[in-house]
Every structure is written in C-alpha cells, then in structure tokens.
Amino acid sequence: MNVSRRWLEGCLRRPLDATEVAARLAMLGVTCDAIEPLHPGLEQVVVGLVESVAPHPNADRLRVCQVFDGTPERRHVVCGAPNVTAGSKYPFARVGVTLPGGVTLERRKIRGELSEGMLCSARELGLGQEHDGILELQTGAAPGTPLLEVLPVDDDRLVLDVTPNRPDLLGHKGIARELAHGYGVPLRLPEIPGAPVTGLGTLRRVETRRAEVAGVTVGTDDPAGCRRFTAVVIKGVKIGPSPAWLSDRLQAAGVRSISNVVDVTNYVMLELNHPMHAYDLAQLHGPAIVARRAQPGERLTTLDGTLRELSPSMTVIADQARAVGVGGVMGAANTEVTAATTDLLIECAWFDPAATRRTRKALALATDASYRFERGVDLWGLPEAQRRAAELILATAGGQVVDAVDVWPEPTAPPRIFLRVARVALVLGESLPVECMERYLVAVGCTVLHKPEDARLAVEVPGWRPDLRAEIDLIEEIARLHGYDNFPTELRPYRVGRLGDSVLDRAVTRVREGLAALGWFEAQSIPLGPEPGPGGVKLLNPLSSEEAWLRQRVLPGLERAVETNWSRQVRDIRLFEIGTVFRGSESGGRPFETLRVAGVLTGARAPAHWSAGAAVDDMDLWDLKACFAAAVALANPAADVQVEAGGWVARLGEDLIGHAERLGLAPPAWAAPVFGFELDLNPEGRAPLRYQALPTTPGAWRDLNLVLTLEVTAAHTARVIRRAAGPLLESVEVVSDFRSEQLGSDRRAVQFRLRLRGADRTVRDEEVDQAVSRVLKAVEKELDARLRTS
C-alpha cells in the first residue's frame, strides 16, 4: 500500500514527518518498506516576477527577461518560452540551484547574452509532462517566496507492508485512524476544493434484490457473491483532466491519473478502501446493472483488453444484454467512461472475499479491487463511499445527482463481541484498568457497552475490521494499542514440559559432530531433483522439471557439490550430509520419510606439508572403507559392514541399510577419484558404553608372515588365527600384504601381528611358542597357508 504523507496530513489536520509516521506505524503492526520523497529538489526554487521582456538581439525565438527574485539585484535571464509575459510570476531557479532532473544552473552566455538562472516549466520541475511553456503562478506571494509555499507539491510516499488481516489499512483513512489515537487528534476526511455544500445525503435503502434508480434497474441476483449493491446516477458531467491536487494525490499513492471521474473512483478506493466503478449510463442496455452469476460459456473482454472465459461460480456485473464487469475484480471496456460521457452510474458494492479470491485465481487476474475485496471491504461503509464519490465528482466534473439507491436484500448489523475483563490479564499477563481497555477499543472504532453485572464489555465492531471476530481479537487490539513494549519482560516461574528430547534429533547431532571431528564438512543441499526412479515422489507444481521430484538418495546432491567444487578448481573434498529422503507409499497417502547420512571424499589424504616436499597421497578405497565404517558406527550402530559384490555394504540384520563405493563421476585430469557412501540413520541398538579394565600385565607379540592363496581373505585368516591361538591372544593386526613373481601369481604374503597377554600374570615364552605353533598348524590345515621363508 502506497501512502501519501500529505493525504494523511489532510485527515489529521496536522503536519507529519514521514520517518516518524513510519516508526509509529511499525509499532502498531504496519512495517514501512521504503519512504520515497516525491518532487525532491524544489526547496531552492523561488517565485520570480518577470518585470520586463525584451527580444534577444541574436535569436528570434529567445527573449531576455529581467527577473525580480526578492533580492536587491535584478537577474538577466534568457528564456525560450513563448508564454513569458512581463508582470507574471514563474518558478525561478537561481544560479547554483540543482533541478530535479539533476541539472545545476550556471551563469553562462546564451547566444552572447548573459543568463543568470532559469524560469522553469512544469516538466523541468518534475511536476508534469507539459513543456509548452513555463509554469505561470497565480499567486499573490512576494517574489523570492519559496515555490513550495505557493505550490505545496512536495510529499513523501510511504510504501507500507499491510498484513492480510487488515483491509482497513488499504485506505488512507484507516492508516490515519491508527495514527489519530497516538497523536490525540480527531480523524476527518480531507476537504475537497470546490465541493458542493450539500452532497448526496442518504441513499434510498431497499431490502429487495432489485430496485430502480433514475430509470435504471439495479441490484443483486446473487446475494451470496454480492451482498449489497449501491448505485448513484449523476447526469451532466464533463469528463476532463483532473485538477492538479487530485492527480498529485493519486500520483503520490502510485496511481496514474486518467480522467476526473476515473480518478475519483480511484481516490475513494485509496481513501476509504472501497473499490467502485463508474459506468457510462448511455452504454448500459436495459438500462440495467445487476450482480449475477456468470452463465456457462459466457465471455467478457475486461478493461485490460483480454477476452476472458467466465464460469458459473463467478459473480459478474451485467446489464440486460451482457456482462459488463467481473464482480470485485475488473470492469469491461464496453461501458467504460469516455470523453463523450455525460451521464454516469457509480456502482459501489460488496463482493464475497473467498469467492473473489477464487475468481481472480481462476482468471489469473489480480487487481487493486480484487486485492481489497479478498481481504474484506466494509459492508456497512458503502453509503459513505458513495457520498464521498459524489462530492468529488460534483467538485471535479460537475453534473447533478439524480438518484441514489442502496440495495441490501438481507441487512445485518455489525457483529457484537463480549470481552471478559478478567480474560485480558490471563492472556496478556498484565492487569489494565477497564477504562484503558475501553479507550483502546474506541480508538479503533468499536462501540463499547459495559455489562457490569458479569464483568464483561459488549463491543460492537466496526465494519472495516472484519478481523475482529472473537474475544481474543479484542485482546490483541488492547495489547497493540497499549504498546507491546509497555508490557514487562521479567521471566516468571514456569513448568517444564513432559516431552523429552527427540531421540532421533539427538542422534543426528551426535552423528554430525562425530563426522565433523573425523575431518568432514557438513553440506546442505536442496532435496529436489530430477526423477529418482521407481517409488519417487513427484511435485504437483514444481519450479522446474529439474526440481520436480523429492530425492530418494542424498548422495546425488553431494555429487553435484563435488562437481561444483571441481568447477572452481577445488580438488580436496570431504563432504557429508544428513537429510530426509522420500519414497511414495504404494497405497497413496503419507510418503515414507527416512533420515540418511551420505558422504563423498576425494583428493589429498592430509594437508600437504613441506617436510615431505608437499607430496601427499590421494584418498583411496581404504580411506573410504574406514570412513564408511566410522559413519556406520556413528549413525547405525547396530549394523555391520560387509563385503558384498565387489564393494562394501551395511546390513542391519537382513536389511541393506547402506553402501560404499567408488563413484562414477569422471574427475578432471588434475583431480582424484571420488568415493562415496550413504546409509540410514538409526540410533536404535546403540550399546551403552562400558569401561573395560586396563591390562596390568606385560604382553608379548609375534609376527607371522603367511603365504596365502588369493581366495583366502585376511578376515578369514584372522578368524582361524583367533580360534587356534586360544585365550592368550589379545589382537591380530595386518602389517603388510606382499606380492611378487617369486610367490607366483596366485599367492600373496600377508604379515599378521599377534599380541598375546595373560589376564593376571606375565605370559611365558613357551606359552607364546605353543600358541604360534597351534596357529601355524591350523592355517596350514584349513587355509593351505604356510610361513614365508625368505
């Protein structure tokens, strides 16, 4: 909502500072996104009196003027305007002044004649497009008077962010009402220059669906969509441009001036939040103008020149022959007011908010009117809007009111709400005097009746506040007008809740911190992507086909991150992400959501260091395996890592819950292979940590370099060793894996390191020897493995 500071000043009859107004409104719940000064740069322009005009000696079209600008010295000014006349006053810009267009005036010679300043046209002052001549000022003000005192055009536009519950703030009167309370001034409508003394008076109320007004049939055949319909007939108007004050007002509010009558309807909308429409009476068939449902297949060319297909769920305004407007949304070109129009029918009606919203969505046609009807205009305020419009039309276009009617088949009274005085403190935590509550409610336009017998207030809500529907709404108004900052902020005792922390969320934190401690960085990616495969969940209204599906795996997002890093010459990448993946349920209904952990790794195993000539090995499959195992231990502690199908998987019982592999991404020549893993996050089955007694006896170790066939795995060999060595064996580690021609292509030598220890005594050499020989016997028998002899 664009608000003019001057318009507000007209309502409050006091000068306002735009910044201060914005600050006050912010604390009342309306934020101001911007303050735009209008017509800036006119402060230094003054009234200049042209005392004499002489021809320019060297140019036919130029004149040399003597200008009195209030200072003792007269100024020589060369002027090209055809309308410059001695004895007239014009806006004068002295040397040194910068005009709104950015031009700074200098003393200079024009065709040999000195010019000290400029007599300005409206366009040069940013006040209009007219450039035919300089702007003659009809003023008694003395030369040298600041122009802004003669032409009060300077204004500020406040761009307000109005929340959808407050339609009343879509009009200047509503904004002014909010401010009036704080300033302690009454709220009135601005005076209209040239307004008639007697205006429209009351409208003839009719409680049927149809009525006649000056021979025109008007009304509503669709009381659900259009509950109330008012019409005023004004004859003998003269369509023309609006007076400057009116076009200035509209311009300040961001609306282009079109013609006096159209401008008036826009003015009333911007002042009172009542969209209205002016019809050319001569163009109405019947003549009639009624609200009704659209007929199947009915079409209408709206004012924007688009032919629109209507449906019977939409309310239209129609004459006897055809639709002439989409109710609450937009009028049609066929009955538009034109320069030839002399007789008007002004329609101001109430359209159902939800229906208007559905219609404008169906037509994809959002207008200032639909914006307001969707939010709710004042059902009880239509006559005031008509009176204001009539006053403005008579003042700007002349003519005479012939008749006015108010068709309201089922009149209702504004709602009444009961407010329990004690409830206010229960919600707000602060006891306020009841007089105080009453004052606040009256300030927003409520009528308050005391019901002392049961400590309640009966509150009649004004029609412009459709958001006030229940007691809690009134409590909010009391808090708002009291000022949120005026409530205390001391912490009071509270009870903690029954719910404990979510186990899953705690696990996520643990996994995240664990992976970060292992040298990984957490990434967060957009969980939308292209079709992920069977079971994918699709969006109905995606932003693009590339983001039309919910992800089923986290890894693809990290692969995209790897490519992003590569595109920026980043080679060493260690990323993980914890996020939700989605899978459709076969029966429809809720999609399955699973939390997953994924990681990618590529590039140097450690930061390069000069001590090794800055040479570092790249990460390989074995880095992946360790990372995967660590991630499984953190994220799914009950699962096991297994070798399967040439890679590693994690299984929880029978369920496959994760895998690790070299990824198919093709690295650029300077980058390294990429590895990745992904697994379910499931904290269940995490064994509680238990202390294990530290050994108190010295241990012994032996290395066994075993020649194994290629079919025999290290894990299998270790199992055989463990079983054969007996209880003294503490651990088995792999020290090396050696292959050579000498061993043959089907064998390798794997060196195992066995650590042995007695639980309560020092292990004896003979015991170690016996264990080793048991191991050697067993591996030879079971694995055909023997000690390597060098």
Partner 1 sequence: MADSDELRGRLAALETELVHIPSLDPRGLEAAEVRLLGRKQGALTEILKLLPGLPPDQRRTVGGEANRLKQVLEAAVVARKAELAQAATAAAARGLDLTMPGRLRHGGGVHPVTTVVEEIVAIFHGLGFARAGGPEAETEWYNFGALNFPPDHPAMDLHDTLYLDIPDRRGPAERRRNRSSGVASDFERRDLSDRREREQGRWLLRTHTSPVQIRVLQQEPPPVRVVIPGWVYRKDTFDASHAPVFAQIEGLAVDEGITFVDLKATLSHFAREFFGARTSVRFRPSFFPFTEPSAEMDVSCGVCGGKGCPACKGTGWMEILGAGMVHPTVLANCGVDPERYTGFAFGMGPGRIALNRYGIPDIRLLYEGDMRFLQQFGLRAPGELA
Considering only residues 518 through 577, tell me which ones interact with partner 1, judged by CB under 8 A: 518-528, 537-543, 547, 550, 557-558, 560-562, 564-565, 568, 570, 572-575, 577
Q: Which is nearer to partner 1, 83 or 431 (CB)?
A: 431
Q: Which of 123, 358, 625, 651 binds partner 1 (CB under 8 A)?
A: 358
Rounded to 5 degrees, what are φ and ψ at 357? -65, -45
**Under the criterion CB under 8 A, does residue 431 sit at the interface with partner 1?**
no
Q: Which of 197, 339, 340, 426 binds partner 1 (CB under 8 A)?
A: 426
**Under the criterion CB under 8 A, does residue 697 sit at the interface with partner 1?**
no
Three-state DSSP class for 453? Answer: helix
Stretch of residues binding partner 1 (CB under 8 A), selected from 208-216, 355-363, 434-442, 708-716: 355-363
Stretch of residues binding partner 1 (CB under 8 A), selected from 149-157, 185-193, 449-457, 608-616: 608-616
Q: Do the strands 108-110 and 89-93 form a parallel or antiparallel pair, or are they unpaired?
A: unpaired
Q: Which of 148, 362, 443, 630 binds partner 1 (CB under 8 A)?
A: 362
- Would you say 773 and 726 are in contact if contact means Cβ atoms under 8 Å apart? no
Alpha carbon 745 to chain centroid distance?
68
Q: Considering only the C-alpha atoms of the chain, give the largest distance between any 2 of them, rounded to a whole number of Å.
A: 132
**Under the criterion CB under 8 A, does residue 492 sit at the interface with partner 1?**
yes
User: Cα(773)–Cα(756) distance, rounded to whole angstroms?
Assistant: 14
**Under the criterion CB under 8 A, does residue 490 sit at the interface with partner 1?**
yes
Please provide the DSSP assignment of 146-181 as one string.
Answer: BHHHHS---EEEEEEE--TT-GGGGSHHHHHHHHHH
Q: CA-CA-CA-CA torsion for 351, 354, 358, 360, nearest 10 degrees? A: 50
Structure tokens belonging to residue 114: 């000195």
Could you give the C-alpha distances from 612 to 543, 602, 604, 617, 623, in angstroms and in order? Answer: 51, 20, 13, 11, 20
Q: How far is the CB of 623 from partner 1 (least distance, A)?
A: 11
User: Cα(309)–Cα(296) distance, rounded to whole angstroms?
Assistant: 9
Q: Which of 508, 526, 518 is nearest to 595 (CA)?
A: 508
Give the number of other Cβ atoms within 10 Å of residue 560's Cβ: 15
- Fill in the per-residue mask, 458 to 477: x = in contact with partner 1 (CB under 8 A), - = not in contact: ------------x-xx-xx-
- Would you say 76 and 113 are in contact if contact means Cβ atoms under 8 Å apart? yes
Q: Which of 6, 39, 63, 166 binds partner 1 (CB under 8 A)?
A: 166
Query: What residue type is assigned to position 228 of the chain?
Result: R
Three-state DSSP class for 26? Answer: helix
Q: Which of 353, 399, 532, 683 binds partner 1 (CB under 8 A)?
A: 353
Bridge partners, residue 278, by sequence: 346
Q: Which is nearer to partner 1, 393 or 424 (CB)?
A: 424
Structure letter (DSSP) for residue 70: S
**Under the criterion CB under 8 A, does residue 512 sit at the interface with partner 1?**
yes
Q: Which of 682, 686, 623 is nearest to 658 (CA)?
A: 682
The H-or-E segment that residue 315 falls in is: strand 315-318
Q: How far is the CB of 667 from partner 1 (least distance, A)?
A: 15
Q: How far is the CB of 721 from partner 1 (least distance, A)?
A: 33
Q: Which is nearer to partner 1, 248 or 572 (CB)?
A: 572
Q: How far is the CB of 162 from partner 1 (least distance, A)?
A: 9
Q: Which is nearer to partner 1, 114 or 612 (CB)?
A: 612
Structure tokens belonging to residue 542: 């995606």
Residues 6+ apart with CB under 8 A from 455: 420, 421, 422
Q: Which of 140, 590, 664, 741 binds partner 1 (CB under 8 A)?
A: 590
Structure letter (DSSP) for residue 492: -
Q: Which is nearer to partner 1, 72 or 497 (CB)?
A: 497
Q: Which is nearer to partner 1, 145 or 565 (CB)?
A: 565
Stretch of residues binding partner 1 (CB under 8 A), selected from 54-62, 211-219, 601-609, 766-774: 601-609
User: Cα(162)–Cα(585) distance, rounded to whole angstroms?
Assistant: 41
Q: Which is nearer to partner 1, 453 or 490 (CB)?
A: 490
**Under the criterion CB under 8 A, does residue 670 sit at the interface with partner 1?**
no
Q: How far is the CB of 518 from partner 1 (least distance, A)?
A: 6
Stretch of residues binding partner 1 (CB under 8 A), selected from 206-214, 391-399, 600-608, 777-785: 600-608
**Under the criterion CB under 8 A, does residue 496 sit at the interface with partner 1?**
yes
User: Cα(77)–Cα(687) distance, rounded to whole angstroms?
Assistant: 96
Q: How far is the CB of 569 from partner 1 (least distance, A)?
A: 10
User: Cα(769)–Cα(702) distance, rounded to whole angstroms?
Assistant: 9
**Under the criterion CB under 8 A, does residue 296 sit at the interface with partner 1?**
no
* First-to-last C-alpha distance (Å) of the chain: 91
Rounded to 5 degrees, what are φ and ψ at 89? -110, 140
Q: How far is the CB of 441 from partner 1 (least distance, A)?
A: 14
Q: Which is nearer to partner 1, 548 or 718 (CB)?
A: 548
Q: Which is nearer to partner 1, 521 or 701 (CB)?
A: 521
**Under the criterion CB under 8 A, does residue 626 sit at the interface with partner 1?**
no
# residues contacting partner 1 (CB under 8 A): 108
**Under the criterion CB under 8 A, does residue 622 sit at the interface with partner 1?**
no
Residues 28-87 within binding reach of partner 1 (CB under 8 A) = 28-29, 31
Q: Which is nearer to partner 1, 484 or 701 (CB)?
A: 484
Residues 365-404 within binding reach of partner 1 (CB under 8 A) = 374-375
The H-or-E segment that residue 224 falls in is: none
Residues 13-32 within binding reach of partner 1 (CB under 8 A) = 26-29, 31
